[in-house]
Amino acid sequence: MTLQHVDILFQLIVFLFAISIHESAHAWTADRRGDPTARLLGRVTLNPIKHIDPVGTILLPLIAMLSHFPAIGWAKPTPVNPRNFRNPVLDDVLTSVAGPVSNFLVATGALILLVIISLTSHNGHEIVRIMPFSYRMGILDLGSSPLIP
């Protein structure tokens, strides 16, 4: 296995982790705001299998990583029924924003962790090269979220 293959595998794992947190945040927030739909379907979980969309989660990201073509994948959307919310407008907004905010927080935490590791490790400079990808996972998601209804 070459370093490029390891890098692709690492990026796929980070992507699966990011979408799991993102979709779980939507599901958890919806449940807390009164809509049990996602919880009843088993979507309040960090298990990536529950959130995988075959094309958007596996095929497109893999093709993008292998071809070095910039593309962003997606997960299976979290089911939400706004009629179940106590305050439909506010709760729908909070549920929608929960996913992008969770990715931003995870990316920021990963960046802080990688900086600490790079400053305290003998091979820290090797780790620095993966920082932009980890941080981009949160920033791109947060930046594109206003475009999604």
Q: How many CA atoms lie within 13 A of 33 on its CB side?
A: 24
- pLDDT, residue 24, reads 96
For residue 12, name the pLDDT band (cuts at 50, 70, 90): confident
Rounded mean pLDDT, 104-112? 81
For residue 143, name the pLDDT band (cuts at 50, 70, 90): very low
- pLDDT, residue 129, reads 61
Give yes or no for a contact between 18 and 103, defined as CB atoms under 8 angstroms apart. Answer: yes
For residue 1, name the pLDDT band (cuts at 50, 70, 90): low
C-alpha distances (whole Å) from 49 to each of 94, 95, 148 are 25, 21, 23
- pLDDT, residue 33, reads 98
Query: Residues 65-74: pLDDT tens digits?
Result: 778 787 778 8
Say whether pLDDT at 3 is over 90: no
Give percent above pLDDT 70 in the chain.
Answer: 80
- SS3 of the chain: CCHHHHHHHHHHHHHHHHHHHHHHHHHHHHHHCCCCHHHHCCCCCCCHHHHCCHHHHHHHHHHHHHHCCCCCCCCCCCCCCHHHCCCHHHHHHHHHHHHHHHHHHHHHHHHHHHHHHHHHCCCHHHHHCCHHHHHHHHHHHHHHHHHCC
- Residue 23 designated active-site: yes
C-alpha distances (whole Å) from 79 to each of 31, 65, 73, 110, 148 are 11, 29, 18, 28, 15
The vertex-104 CA angle with 30 and 147, nearest 5°, equals 70
- Smallest Cα–Cα separation from 41: which of 81, 13, 74? 81
Rounded mean pLDDT, 44-56? 93
Catalytic residue among 11, 20, 23, 138: 23
Q: What is the mean pLDDT of the chain?
A: 81
pTM flag (> 0.85): no
